[in-house]
Structure formats: structure tokens, C-alpha cells
């Protein structure tokens, strides 16, 4: 078995071991497990059955992660994206008045378009054309994004009408336990202890159970019925009224995926000497194929999860990490109560740690060249403050292209960046 895994995932070449990959896969799963509960909760507001979406979410995550691991050999897990789920429910169904069946049809059509773009060199060309400075800004921006999610989720920061965000009540147990988990993770990581992230998460999870701050919901249960399978309405999605919906899904998925793959790959030292991602087309096909499959199963767009960075930080370097996460999502069909027992403050501790690690990318910026550093910093700031990886990347592209034009260095900007900047300008003006 060890020899088979070595041949399939090139473990020695990537300076990793089976144990390290399994630990990383478990870490990624623990930071992503919330989606099995949150995604059904969001889509149920669109009229979908919670139990059916729970099953679809687990299966889509397992399938997408398996494809990414086996086909692309990336330590990146996939699952239905929360941003895409919110767009599905609050904009397409509740806002525009479409049925959830037709919205699933739109997700499927966008998935087919993703596959076509992934087969053609267009999508790969776009991602590889992202300037190195913007890749660093994207990586740091995603880190800040994860940091805000972690702080808000545990109540350390709260929404404030006057200042947007303000300090929450630190005397509350979730806030205290999240900071404690973060301190444990950082302290053990500084001592280079294997599994530091998992130890920190499980430590505060158990403390949460013992103090009543979180609920232990059990271990085993049978999966609910799956009545959302093949319920998509493709014919309705082909109506002219769905054009902007499908285009928005396309843009968000393309650039969410781009940002996630670049950010995770940069942290895993996977970029080649030109700053390009290896065998990128396979990763893009895995992502786009998972979106189409997820729509057939009965859930919103499946995408690469930035929480994979937690697994990478735990040592994940190959597709065996994603395969481990895939198997855990399958088992989640039967251990849903246990997965739901991991509190948000425990996953928040891991996400805050990953945020601090990913923010290091800014140290590699060419700070003496303001035309390169400024757009990267704008990207890093915009991703968390717009609460959208895609929109933050869009603002970064626009700034980069226009700064090159104004500075007179037109040829210093790749053609793809100019094209993407124009696309995002049209999106912000016409599709928002």
C-alpha cells in the first residue's frame, strides 16, 4: 500500500509522508465540516429540504475532493461554497423569484461552461497571467479574510453600524476558548509539534463540551433521504432571464478558484520558477466538474475551499490530503452528529492561525516598486472588506491595469490582466 501511494501521489518528491498527509486531510476536514450544516441551512431558506441538501453537500464535497486529489494531485478539498449558496438563495430564488429547481439548472449550466473553459487554454492562461505581486496580495488577502471569519464567528469582533466592526464581549466563553485554541496552536507550532492544529482544535472542543459552551450531539446516525437528486430544471435556466445569473456564477467560481489555488499553492511552495501552478488544467477540470456534479446531486456551486490552507499548514502537499478529506466527508453521512459537535470557536482558532501564516506573503512584495506593491495591498485589503475573494481580485486587477497605463508602462502588464480588468469593470457596472 505504501508503494502504491508513493507512485500515485509522489510523496517523497513532495517531501511528505502518509502520516503527514492523513493528518493534513483530517485538519482540512475539521476546518470545513461546518459546511455540512451551514450550507443546508442557507439552501433550506430557498425551499429545499435540509436533510436532502445535507446529503448532497457531503457527496459533492467527497466527489470534488476525490477528483482534485486523484486527478490533479493537489492538497485542496472542495465543497459547496458558502458565498455561492448565499447568492443562490438570497439573490436568485428569494430576490429574483426563480424556483430552486431552475437555480440548480443555472448552476449546472455554469458548471458546463466552467468545464469548457477548463478544457480550452483560456482559464489556465488567465490564472498563470496573474502577476506575481497580485498572487502575493491574493494569498495575504485570503489570510485576512479567514481572520475576519474567525474573529466574527467566535464573537471577538461584532458588527457595528458606526464603525463596521468593533470589539465583542471577550468575557464570553466562545471568545475566550477561540483565543485559547489559537494560543495552543501557535505555541505548539513554534515547537514544531506534529498535529498542532488538530491538538488545539480538539482541546478547546472538549473544553467547550465540558463547560457547556458547545453541545456534544452524539456520534452515529443514518443519513437522511435524498429527494433533491436530479431535481434541476435546465430548460428554465436557459431562459434569457438567467444570463446575468449564469455569468455571475461563472465569474465568481473562476476567480474564487483562482484565488484559492494560488493562495494554497503559494503556501505549499507548489509554484514553479515562473510563479505558475503545476498541472493547473487538471485542477481546474476537477473544480468545474465538481460544480456540474453538485448541481445534479442537488446543491449550489462546488468550489475549492480556502480552508485547505489549514491542511497545508499541517503538512499536506499532495492529493492524498484531499483524498483523506473526501473519505471523511463520506463518513460524515453517518457521523453527522459528531461533525456537528465541533464548535465554531474551535475551527475559528485554526482559521486565525492560518490567517497569520498566509499574511506572511506580503513580506515578499517588491515594496520599492509602488506600481507593483500598491495593487497587491489593495487586493489584500479588498478581499476581506468586500467579503468576496472574487470581488477583491477584481479590484486588484483593475488597479494593476490602470496604474500600468497611467505610469506609462503599458507593456509591463500582461494582456490577460487588461482583459480581466475590463470584464470586472463591466461586472461591477452591469451585474451588481
Q: Above 80 in pLDDT, residue 217? A: yes
What pLDDT shows up at residue 432?
A: 56
The x, y and z cell numbers of residue 41, run together, are 441551512
* Segment 63-75 mean pLDDT: 93
Q: What is the chain's alpha carbon radius of gyration, rounded to the nearest angstrom?
A: 21
**Contact (CB, 8 A) for 322 and 25:** yes
Contacts of 79 (CB under 8 A, 6+ apart): 32, 35, 39, 57, 60, 61, 64, 65, 302, 303, 305, 329
Query: What pLDDT score does 75 carry?
Result: 92
Contact 178, 152 (CB under 8 A): no
Residue 79 DSSP class: E
Burial of 164 (0-12, 13-18, 19+ CB in 10 A): exposed
Cell of 357: 501564516
Return the sign of the alpha-carbon dihedral for residues 29, 30, 33, 34: negative
The pLDDT value given to residue 431: 61
Instruction: Name 166's bridge partners.
Output: 158
pLDDT at 164 (0 to 100): 83
Average pLDDT for 268-295: 82
For residue 346, the model assigns a pLDDT of 86
Three-class SS of residue 135? helix
Which of 14-18, 183-187, 227-231, 280-284 shows the lowest mean pLDDT across its residues?
A: 227-231
Cell 464570553 belongs to 172
pLDDT at position 407: 92
DSSP states of 345-365: HHHHHHHHHHHHHHGGGGGGS
Which pLDDT score is estimated for 275? 66
Q: Do 249 and 84 meet the contact criterion of CB atoms below 8 Å apart?
A: yes
Contact present, 115 and 289 (Cβ < 8 Å): yes
Checking DSSP bridges between strand 164-167 and strand 157-160, what pairing results, if any? Answer: antiparallel
**Mean per-residue pLDDT of the chain:** 86
Task: Reduce the DSSP state of residue 105 to 3 states and report it.
Answer: helix
Three-state SS for 355?
helix
The partner residues of 157 in beta bridges, in order of sequence, read 167
Can you give the pLDDT at residue 194?
A: 64
Measured CA angle at 263 (ends 261, 268), to 5 deg:
90
Query: CA dihedral in degrees (150, 152, 157, 161; nearest 10)?
Result: 150
Q: Is pLDDT of 362 > 70?
A: yes
Q: What is the mean pLDDT of residues 21-37?
A: 87
Instruction: Measure the CA–CA gap between 220 and 225, rounded to whole angstroms.
Output: 16
Q: What is the pLDDT of residue 372?
A: 93
Per-residue pLDDT at 268: 78
Confirm if 149 and 143 have CB atoms less than 8 A apart: no
Q: What phi and psi, each to the nearest 5 degrees, are found at residue 78?
A: -125, 155
Average pLDDT over residues 121-137: 78
User: Could you tell me the pLDDT band of residue 239, with boundaries at 50, 70 and 90?
Assistant: confident
Strand locations in 64-196 (E): 78-80, 157-160, 164-167
For the chain, percent of residues with pLDDT exceeding 70: 96
- Which residues make beta-bridge pairs with 159? 165
Query: Confidence band (pLDDT; 50, 70, 90) for 79?
Result: very high
Q: In this predicted structure, which of 53-57, 298-302, 333-337 has the lowest mean pLDDT? A: 333-337
Give the residue carrying C-alpha cell 458558502.
82
Average confidence (pLDDT) over 78-106: 85
Residue 52, C-alpha cell as written in the block: 436532502
pLDDT reading at 420 higher than 90: no
For residue 1, pLDDT beyond 80: no
* Least confident window among 43-47, 49-53, 370-374, 426-430: 426-430
Q: Which three cell numbers stand for residue 24?
A: 493534513
Percent of the chain scoring above 90 in pLDDT: 29
Q: Which long-range contacts (CB under 8 A, 24 or more apart) does 197-202 make?
A: 197/27, 197/310, 197/313, 197/314, 197/350, 197/353, 198/23, 198/26, 198/27, 198/30, 198/314, 200/349, 200/350, 200/353, 201/30, 201/31, 201/342, 201/346, 201/347, 201/349, 201/350, 202/346
- Say if CB 255 and CB 134 are below 8 A apart: no
Range of weakest confidence among 201-205, 241-245, 353-357: 241-245
Q: Which helix (H) or strand (E) segment is 304 a member of?
A: strand 302-304
Residue 344, all three cell numbers: 465554531
Amino acid at each position: 500500500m505504501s508503494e502504491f501511494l508513493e507512485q500515485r501521489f509522489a510523496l517523497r518528491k513532495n517531501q511528505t509522508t502518509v502520516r503527514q498527509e492523513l493528518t493534513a486531510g483530517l485538519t482540512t476536514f475539521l476546518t470545513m465540516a461546518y459546511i455540512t450544516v451551514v450550507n443546508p441551512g442557507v439552501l433550506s431558506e430557498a425551499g429545499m429540504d435540509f436533510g436532502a441538501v445535507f446529503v448532497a453537500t457531503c457527496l459533492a464535497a467527497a466527489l470534488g475532493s476525490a477528483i482534485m486529489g486523484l486527478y490533479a494531485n493537489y492538497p485542496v478539498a472542495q465543497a459547496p461554497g458558502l458565498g455561492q449558496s448565499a447568492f443562490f438563495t438570497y439573490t436568485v430564488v428569494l430576490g429574483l423569484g426563480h424556483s430552486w429547481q431552475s437555480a440548480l439548472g443555472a448552476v449546472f449550466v455554469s458548471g458546463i461552461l466552467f468545464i469548457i473553459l477548463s478544457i480550452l487554454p483560456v482559464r489556465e492562461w488567465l490564472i498563470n497571467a496573474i502577476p506575481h505581486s497580485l498572487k502575493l496580495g491574493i494569498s495575504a488577502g485570503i489570510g485576512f479574510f479567514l481572520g475576519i471569519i474567525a474573529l466574527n464567528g467566535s464573537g471577538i469582533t461584532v458588527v457595528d453600524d458606526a464603525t463596521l466592526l468593533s470589539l465583542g464581549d471577550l468575557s464570553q466563553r466562545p471568545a475566550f476558548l477561540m483565543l485559547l485554541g489559537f494560543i495552543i496552536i501557535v505555541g505548539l507550532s513554534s515547537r514544531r509539534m506534529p498535529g498542532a492544529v488538530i491538538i488545539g482544535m480538539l482541546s478547546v472542543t472538549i473544553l467547550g463540551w465540558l463547560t457547556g459552551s458547545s453541545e456534544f450531539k452524539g456520534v452515529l446516525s443514518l443519513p437522511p433521504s435524498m429527494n433533491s437528486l436530479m431535481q434541476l430544471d435546465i430548460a428554465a435556466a436557459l431562459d434569457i432571464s438567467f444570463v446575468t445569473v449564469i455569468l455571475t456564477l461563472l465569474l465568481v467560481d473562476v476567480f474564487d478558484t483562482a484565488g484559492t489555488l494560488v493562495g494554497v499553492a503559494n503556501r505549499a511552495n507548489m509554484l514553479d520558477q515562473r510563479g505558475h501552478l503545476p498541472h493547473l488544467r487538471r485542477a481546474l477540470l476537477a473544480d468545474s466538474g465538481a460544480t456540474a456534479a453538485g448541481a445534479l446531486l442537488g446543491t449550489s456551486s462546488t468550489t475549492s475551499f480556502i480552508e485547505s490552507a489549514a491542511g497545508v499548514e499541517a503538512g499536506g502537499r499532495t492529493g492524498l490530503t484531499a483524498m483523506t478529506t473526501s473519505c471523511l466527508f463520506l463518513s460524515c453521512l453517518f457521523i453527522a452528529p459528531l461533525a456537528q459537535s465541533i464548535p465554531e470557536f474551535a475551527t475559528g482558532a485554526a482559521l486565525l492561525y492560518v490567517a497569520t501564516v498566509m499574511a506572511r506573503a506580503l513580506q515578499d512584495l517588491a515594496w520599492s516598486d509602488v506600481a507593483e506593491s500598491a495593487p497587491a495591498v489593495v487586493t489584500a485589503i479588498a478581499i476581506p472588506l468586500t467579503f468576496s475573494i472574487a470581488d477583491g481580485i477584481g479590484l486588484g486587477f483593475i488597479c494593476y491595469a490602470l496604474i500600468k497605463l497611467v505610469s506609462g508602462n503599458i507593456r509591463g502588464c500582461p494582456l490577460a490582466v487588461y482583459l480581466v480588468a475590463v470584464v470586472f469593470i463591466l461586472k461591477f457596472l452591469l451585474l451588481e
